[in-house]
Amino acid sequence: MSIEQTIAQATAEAVKALYGLDIDASAVVPQTTRKEFEGNLTIVVFPFLKASHKAPEATAVEIGEYLQAHCPAVARFNAVKGFLNLSLNDTLWLDTFRAIEADERYGFTEATPDSQLVMIEYSSPNTNKPLHLGHVRNNLLGYSLAQILKANGYKVVKTNIVNDRGIHICKSMLAWQKWGNGITPEKAGVKGDHLIGDFYVAFDKHYKAELAELEASGKSKEEAEQASTLMQEARAMLRRWEAGDEEVRSLWAMMNEWVYAGFDETYRRLGVDFDKIYYESQTYLVGKEKVLEGLEKGIMYRKDDGSVWADLTADGLDHKLLLRSDGTSVYMTQDIGTAKLRYDDYPIDRMIYVVGNEQDYHFKVLSLLLDKLGFKWGKELVHFSYGMVELPEGKMKSREGTVVDADDLMDAMIATAKDVSAELGKLDECTPDEVEYITRIVGLGALKYFILKVDPRKNMTFNPKESIDFNGNTGPFIQYTHARIKSLLRKVTPDSGIDIAGASLTEREVALIQRLADYPSVVAEAGRSYSPALIANYVYDLVKEYNQFYHDCPIMKESDVALRQLRLRLSAVVARTIAAATSLLGIEVPDRM
């Protein structure tokens, strides 16, 4: 039983004994006492006033006196209006610390054969361009969510759906045919995804130039778009692909392989991975089959032009197109096919899609359609809807080549980490290999932490300069604290054989133990609310608490043996917890900096 549960149970018993009021202990929620007041935990007594028939402060005093007399954990109390502030005794805090210290997997719940299986889809790139800053947020959120759910005892399958077909792919292919001169990633000396992205931008450049010429000749914008030979050729290529044309399919396969190799390298650097990858080129036909099956069952209907729709007006939505009049599929159809294949591959209990909030309506429709088609988890699917990420300069546009490339961003973060670390003298005693290792994990840690500390549902602006700061709410600040503790422990190894029972605690040790005691509930809440930001901000608060402790409480110079050992062992547990918490964010922490 946690400290909060112990106090909640004792409070429920006090209210029953004093006022004859039966309440469930879960209705009592002890809160951390505000710093301006004395105490560790605070009970709000306003809900008990009808039963006590007394003023708030008098009720708080009565409950405090009862707890002090009957609950060994309570050392003293003070009442401020309707708030009962409890100071807990040192024995409780020492027992709590020893329990935390003894549990190497503290805060984590292990999966069992009966644990639910959760599938998480994230990344979902298009094969016509490299991964960019928007994908970085998506990948970091998806990977972190998977780690958090694993820590909560779920079985987790990480999956990716690659958008490897469609008109956007054909634009890159056509541009390569026209202006590529047989170039390959090896010849160009660039990653394959970057090369293909360049041709996607080239297509748009030539397309806009063609439209400008047509409009200059007197055509309207709409007429120019209809007359564009480039777009006509791209659409013709897509039809040939759909028909299985051997030449087009061969070109498509070759260029996609270039892209996949580039994606894999980016994923490795970013520290994310997948258990299963699906491809739209393999799922869209399955989706068409499920839609036609729904048509036969009367779930969908066909219009006079041959297109197939779903009527969702009874569900508060509208009519949704699933197959065009020429029989080609739309994104919704492909998602249905992917769901079918996933359901065949895994006994999914919950499906989570990590996709930006611009797709909120899409997933409302998908949930309804999957449910109507008989998928048991369809109605309960979770759209992990996150906000957009922008730069201080504003939004990014792929067609215009103004996106921030993920690889370039990681390179810049690592270079900046090296410059800042060197300037602060943090690499002075490091070997060249250590410098490379430290600057890599500090640069990437800064990137990941800056993105993940923000509530995922909010839009955010990513500012690289703010993220690489060794002070404040940043990744490097957390990483440096971990390295500082490890440096301390290299000088003096904690001795678990020394009895710490006689240690007299200051408010700093108590505050640190209390913060450590919060960790399991934070992990649990992060899993319930799908929020890596809760983990990020918890570890920042823990690090702040430790740094205050480190400043105020001498360790090496402490003459009391029991207290010195407690402080050393506390430091070791804090370092372990920092590493555990940051691992849920996909962030590495160095042992030296």
Convert 499-560 into a string of H (helix), E (strand) and C (coil): CCCCCCCCHHHHHHHHHHHCHHHHHHHHHHHCCHHHHHHHHHHHHHHHHHHHHHCCCCCCCC
Assign residue 218 a region (left: φ > 0; alpha: ψ between -120 and 50; beta: otherwise).
left
Which residues lie closer than 8 Å to 514 by C-beta, 6 or more apart? 3, 32, 40, 93
What tokens were used for 552? 């105020």
Q: Mean of the pLDDT values across residues 344-349? A: 95
Predicted local confidence at residue 425, as pLDDT: 84
Burial of 159 by CB count in 10 Å (0-12 exposed, 13-18 middle, 19+ buried)? buried
CA distance 481 to 535: 17
Whether pLDDT at 514 is above 70:
yes
Whether pLDDT at 467 is above 90:
no
Q: Mean of the pLDDT values across residues 108-132? A: 95
Which residues lie closer than 8 Å to 401 by C-beta, 6 or more apart? 197, 201
Q: Mean of the pLDDT values across residues 64-70? A: 96
Predicted local confidence at residue 592, as pLDDT: 86
Q: Mean of the pLDDT values across residues 449-462? A: 93
Q: Mean of the pLDDT values across residues 579-590? A: 97
Q: Mean of the pLDDT values across residues 387-400? A: 63
What tokens were used for 213? 């010429």
CA distance 338 to 237: 24
Longest CA span, the chain: 94
**Percent of the chain with pLDDT strictly greater than 70:** 98
Q: What residue type is 170 in one-letter code?
A: C
Whether pLDDT at 397 is above 60:
no
Which residues lie closer than 8 Å to 179 by C-beta, 6 or more apart? 199, 202, 206
Whether pLDDT at 212 is above 80:
yes
Predicted local confidence at residue 270, as pLDDT: 97
Predicted local confidence at residue 242, as pLDDT: 87
Three-class secondary structure of residue 384 per DSSP: strand
Whether pLDDT at 151 is above 60:
yes
Contact by Cβ (8 Å): 195, 188: yes
What tokens were used for 312? 């969702």
Q: Mean of the pLDDT values across residues 526-535? A: 98
Sign of torsion, CA 188 192 197 202?
Answer: positive
Q: Mean of the pLDDT values across residues 269-279? A: 97
Pairing mode of beta strands 350-356, 319-323: unpaired
**Percent of the chain with pLDDT strictly greater than 90:** 84
CA distance 201 to 198: 5
What tokens were used for 289? 């089959």
CA distance 553 to 574: 15
Give the DSSP per-residue string, 240-277: HHHTT-HHHHHHHHHHHHHHHHHHHHHHHHHT---SEE
Whether pLDDT at 542 is above 60:
yes
Q: Which domains does the chain have, with CATH numbers?
A: 3-88 (3.30.1360.70), 406-583 (1.10.730.10)
Predicted local confidence at residue 376, as pLDDT: 84
Q: Mean of the pLDDT values across residues 515-525? A: 96
CA distance 415 to 434: 15
Confidence grade of residue 428 (pLDDT, cut at 50, 70, 90): confident
Whether pLDDT at 304 is above 60:
yes
Q: Which of 8-17, 117-126, 462-471, 489-498 has the lowest mean pLDDT?
A: 462-471
Model-level pTM greater than 0.75? yes
Q: Mean of the pLDDT values across residues 176-191? A: 96
Pairing mode of beta strands 155-162, 301-302: unpaired
Q: Mean of the pLDDT values across residues 81-102? A: 95
Predicted local confidence at residue 328, as pLDDT: 81
Residue 472: count other Cβ atoms within 10 Å of its Cβ: 10
Q: Which of 326-330, 342-346, 479-483, 517-521 has the lowest mean pLDDT?
A: 326-330
Predicted local confidence at residue 402, as pLDDT: 52
Confidence grade of residue 497 (pLDDT, cut at 50, 70, 90): confident
Burial profile 223-255: b = 16 or more Cβ within 10 angstroms, e = fewer: ebeeebebbeebeebbebbeeeeeebeebbeeb
Q: Of 255 and 471, which is predicted with more confidence?
A: 255
Q: Which of 80-94, 336-350, 496-510 has the lowest mean pLDDT?
A: 496-510
Starting at the edge strand that comes first in sequence, how are the strands of the sheet with 83-88 ordered?
Answer: 31-32, 41-44, 83-88, 74-80
Which residues lie closer than 8 Å to 376 by C-beta, 6 or more apart? none
HSE-CB for 147 with a 13 A CA cutoff: 21
Predicted local confidence at residue 393, as pLDDT: 65
